[in-house]
Chains A and B, each alone.
Chain A
C-alpha cells in the first residue's frame, strides 16, 4: 500500500508535467482551432526555443536575470520564425487538404532538426535552474524542485492570459467566430489572412516560451520536439482540439497518467497515455470539450 506522501509527491510532479504540457499544447490547440492546421512543427519551435535560450543565456552570462532575458528573446525569435512559416508556406496550403498540410509542417520538423544539428551539434546541453528557483521545497518530507512551481505558476498565468484573450476581447470574439465559420467572418469584412498570421505567431511565441522554460528542467537535446509533440497530440485529442478548457483538462490527465504510470511501470508510462487517448477516440472522437466537426 502506497503511503499518502508518496502519492502526493507523484501528484505534484504530475501537475508540473501538466503545466509544461499545457504551455506547449495551448499554442498547438489555438493554432488548430483557428487555422484548422495540425501543426507538426509546433514541437520544433519548442525545441529550437530551448536551444536558442541556451545560446543567448551562454552569450549573455548575466547572473540572475540572464535566463529570463534569454527566455523572452527566444520566444520573440520563434514568433519571427512563425511569421516566415505562415507567410511563405502555410498561407499557400489552407485551401489544400490535411495530408499536404501535415507533410508541409513535417518538412519544417526535418528542416529545424537539421538546423539544430548544424548549429549546436548533437550533444546534450543544459542550463542550471535560474534563481530564485535553484533549491527545493520540502513537502511531506520529499524534496520538490522549486523550479517546478515556477513552471506551474507560468502555466497558470498562461491559462489566465489566454482565457482573457479568447473570451474577453474583441480579438477573442473574432477567434471564436473564425474557429467555427471563417467564411462568414471574412464576408463580414474581417481580414482572415492577417488573423491567421497573428494567431500562428502567437502560437509560435508560446512554443518558444515553453521550450525556454523546459531548458532548465532536463536536458536540451535533439528529439525533444517529437517527444513533446506526440504527447501534445494526446493532450488535445483527449481534451478536444481547439478548446482552451479541453487543453487544460487534457494536460492534467496526461500529466497525471504519466506521473502515476511511471510509478506503476516506468516502461509503459507513455503507453498508458495513448491508451487513454485511444479510449477517448473510441468513445468521444472530438474530445471531452471538443465539438464534432460539421
Chain B
C-alpha cells in the first residue's frame, strides 16, 4: 500500500533523513521506533507532504505522491495524526470532528460511529478545542483524522504525555480502529502501545533505518533495543 524508497529529507539546509526505505502492506500495522530526534516525525511529514523529500520515491497505492501538496495526498487516503495534536482551538469538539469530514466511496466513519468509539467526545461536543485535557485532545485528533476516511493512518506518538490508564484506553481504541481494516503506521520513541498493535516494526536512528523485522524479532534482539531504544 505504501512504499518508500531511499528518501532524503531536509529542513532548510539540515539533512534529516538519509535514504529511508520502508513498506507497509494493506491491513498491516507497522511501528516505527526510535529515540526523539531519530527522524520519525520527519518521515511522517515526508509522507503526508508537509516536508516533501528532496529525493527518493514515495508510492501510495501504486502512485507516486512525493512532491504532491498535503491536501492531495490526504484526499488520496492518507490520514495524519500529529504528535502535538494540533486541535483547532476556536472550534468546538464537534466542529473539530466535522471540519475534517470527507465523503468517499466505502466511507465508514461518521459522527455517530466516532461518538460510539469515543463516548467522551460526545459529552464534550460543545466544548472549545482549547478546553480539553491531553487525553481528550488525543482522542479528538484521532477522531478528526478518521473523519477523512483514510485507508492508511499515520499515528505520531499516540501515547505521548498521557497517564498510563489513558494510554491503555487509547490502545484499546486503536485496536478497535485496526479491526475496521485500516492500515496503520505508528511511531513511538518508547516501546509502548504500538507493540501490542503492530505486526512489524522498523527501528530508526539518526535519520536511517537500523533494524526491521517482526515484533518477536525485536523482542529477541537485545542489542538493537539497548542501542537504539534504551529498553
Contact = CB atoms under 8 A, between A and B. Distances in A.
B75 A189 contact: yes
Interface string B147-171: 0100000000000000000000000
Contact of A187 (B80, B89, B98): B80
Interface residues of A, number: 19
A173 B71 contact: no
Contact of A179 (B82, B90, B96, B144): B90
A189 B90 contact: no
Contacts of B91: 173, 176-177
A188 B100 contact: yes
Contacts of A190: 71, 99-100
A254 B123 CA distance: 42
A159 B74 CA distance: 34
B70 interface: yes
Interface in B25-73: 48-50, 69-71
Nearest to A179: B90
Interface string A183-196: 11111111111000
A181 B96 CA distance: 12
B115 interface: no
Nearest to B92: A173
Does more than half of chain B's interface fall in helix, strand or loop, or is it mixed? loop
Nearest to A178: B88
B95 interface: yes
Contact of A173 (B49, B50, B69, B95): B95
A177 B99 CA distance: 8
A180 B100 contact: no
Contacts of B89: 180
Nearest to A184: B86
Contacts of A185: 99
Contact of A189 (B86, B96, B100): B100
B9 interface: no
B145 interface: yes
Among A176, A177, A181, A189, chain B packs the most CB atoms within 10 A around the CB of: A189
Contacts of B96: 177
B102 interface: yes
Nearest to A192: B71
Contacts of B86: 181, 183-184
Contacts of B144: 188
Contacts of B90: 176-177, 179-180
Given A190-B71, A192-B71, A174 B148 contact: no
B93 to A, nearest CB: 12
A170 interface: yes
A213 B95 CA distance: 36
Contacts of A184: 82, 86, 88
B134 to A, nearest CB: 17
Nearest to B96: A177
Contacts of B71: 186-192
Given A176-B91, A179-B90, A181-B86, A188 B69 contact: no
B128 to A, nearest CB: 11
Interface string A61-82: 0000000000000000000000
B98 A188 contact: no
Interface string A112-129: 000000000000000000
Contacts of A177: 88, 90-91, 96, 99
A196 to B, nearest CB: 12
Contacts of B102: 189
13 contacts: A170-B98, A173-B91, A173-B95, A173-B99, A176-B90, A181-B86, A186-B50, A187-B50, A187-B74, A187-B80, A190-B71, A190-B99, A192-B71
Interface of A: 170, 173-174, 176-177, 179-181, 183-193
Chain A to chain B: the 10 pairs with minimum beta-carbon distance, closest first: A189-B74, A177-B88, A186-B70, A173-B99, A184-B86, A188-B100, A176-B90, A189-B75, A187-B80, A186-B71
Given A183-B86, A189-B102, A193-B69, 11 more contacts: A170-B99, A173-B99, A174-B99, A177-B90, A183-B50, A184-B88, A186-B71, A187-B82, A189-B74, A192-B69, A192-B71
